[in-house]
């Protein structure tokens, strides 16, 4: 049982055990009622007695109302006292907890002071002061690194900035996939269905569309971005150059968030440049140089004859 509950029980017992003597109000009530009744009988006969009885009843009602009001006041006073006692107890509990915490911190401070003094005696005051200064500097640097870490910057981004960053990351992933597809000998087009390059290009167009709708790309930038998409009529060197420029554009947009490519695992592809170099060198993963050259020598479908298109389709 809590101290507040114990106190409530104690107050209730004190109230119940208070002496039940006849109060002045009760005495007055008896006298007034009797006097009214007797006066009615003495001065008015039977009708006078009735009048006296009515007067006595009115007096009883008035006194009963006064007693009810008094009891209500006593109850309210009791509730106030109980509430104040609870607040006093809560205040006492809070102070006790604060005292315990202060004593605990005081012990820790004392231990730290003893450790500092022992270390100062071992190192000498000058070296000890230098050691403390270095510690403070290290703590400040650690705090600065924590406040400027990629994770902290990401948590501070608003909803709109997070959407823009997601679009940049989606676009970069598509560029990485296009470079990987070219390094494996795939074309920038597919006559039947999709290949890895065309799927990656679709992903890029989705990211590009989101950046447009979000107002992150101006009309001038839109035209330039579309011109940077590799096409079948571009040479290998031009296609590789376009992919590099697109990649740099995404990196530039990423830097506006205070981030570097290496800060986002799903953004950075360490094999991107290697894939582009493989493609421009004519070496395709899993193929000989001759086979790779044959793949690169394919015409743009728009420039093929009917017979060449049928051969391409294997018909």
User: How do residues 284-297 score in pLDDT, each as one tens digit?
Assistant: 444 445 554 554 45
**Per-residue model confidence as pLDDT tens digits over 206-252:** 988 888 777 667 777 778 888 888 988 899 999 999 999 999 989 99
Confidence of residue 31 (pLDDT cuts 50, 70, 90): low
Enter the pTM of the model: 0.47
Buried-state track 240-263, b at ≥16 Cβ within 10 A, e below 16: bbbbbebbebbbebbeebebebeb
Give the pLDDT confidence score for residue 58 in this predicted structure: 74
Does residue 46 register a pLDDT over 80?
A: no
**Per-residue model confidence as pLDDT tens digits over 255-266:** 888 888 988 888
| Separation CA 187–CA 178 (nearest Å) | 10
| Separation CA 229–CA 234 (nearest Å) | 10
Does residue 37 register a pLDDT over 60?
A: no
What are the residue ranges spanned by the domains of the chain? 3-14+25-119, 124-150, 157-312
| Separation CA 186–CA 232 (nearest Å) | 11
| Separation CA 261–CA 175 (nearest Å) | 13
Give the pLDDT confidence score for residue 218 in this predicted structure: 76
What value does the mean pLDDT of the chain take? 75
**Per-residue model confidence as pLDDT tens digits over 68-115:** 888 888 878 877 777 777 777 777 777 777 777 666 656 777 677 777
Q: Mean pLDDT lowest for which of 1-15, 169-183, 232-246?
A: 1-15
Q: For residue 204, which of 234, 246, 160, 245 has the smallest C-alpha distance?
A: 246
| Separation CA 181–CA 195 (nearest Å) | 8
Phi/psi-derived region of residue 254, left when phi > 0, alpha when psi is between -120 and 50, beta in every other case: alpha
Q: What is the average per-residue pLDDT within 39-53?
A: 59
């Amino acid at each position: 049982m809590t101290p507040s509950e114990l106190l409530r029980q104690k107050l209730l017992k004190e109230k119940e055990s208070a002496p039940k003597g006849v109060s002045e109000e009760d005495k007055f009530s008896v006298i007034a009622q009797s006097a009214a009744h007797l006066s009615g009988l003495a001065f008015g006969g039977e009708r006078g007695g009735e009048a006296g009885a009515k007067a006595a009843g009115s007096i009883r009602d008035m006194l009963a109302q006064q007693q009810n009001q008094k009891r209500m006041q006593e109850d309210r006073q009791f509730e106030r006292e109980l509430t104040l006692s609870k607040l006093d107890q809560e205040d006492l509990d809070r102070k006790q907890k604060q005292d315990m915490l202060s004593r605990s911190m005081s012990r820790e401070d004392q231990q730290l002071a003893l450790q500092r003094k022992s270390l100062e005696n071992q190192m000498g005051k000058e070296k000890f002061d230098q050691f403390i200064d270095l510690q403070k500097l290290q703590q400040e640097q650690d705090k600065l690194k924590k406040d400027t870490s990629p994770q902290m910057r990401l948590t501070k981004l608003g909803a709109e900035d997070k959407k823009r960053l997601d679009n940049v990351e989606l676009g970069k992933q598509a560029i990485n996939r296009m470079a990987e597809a070219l390094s494996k000998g795939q074309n920038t087009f597919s006559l039947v269905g999709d290949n890895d390059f065309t799927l990656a290009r679709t992903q890029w167009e989705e990211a590009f569309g989101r950046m447009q709708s979000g107002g992150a790309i101006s009309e001038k930038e839109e035209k330039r971005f579309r011109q940077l998409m590799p096409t079948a009529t571009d040479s290998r060197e031009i296609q590789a150059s376009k992919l590099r420029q697109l990649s740099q554009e995404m990196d530039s947009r990423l830097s506006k968030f205070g981030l570097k490519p290496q800060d986002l695992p799903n953004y950075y592809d360490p094999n991107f440049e290697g894939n582009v170099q493989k493609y421009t060198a004519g070496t395709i993963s899993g193929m000989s140089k001759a086979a790779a050259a044959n793949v690169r020598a394919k015409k743009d479908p728009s420039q093929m004859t009917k017979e060449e298109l049928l051969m391409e389709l294997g018909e």
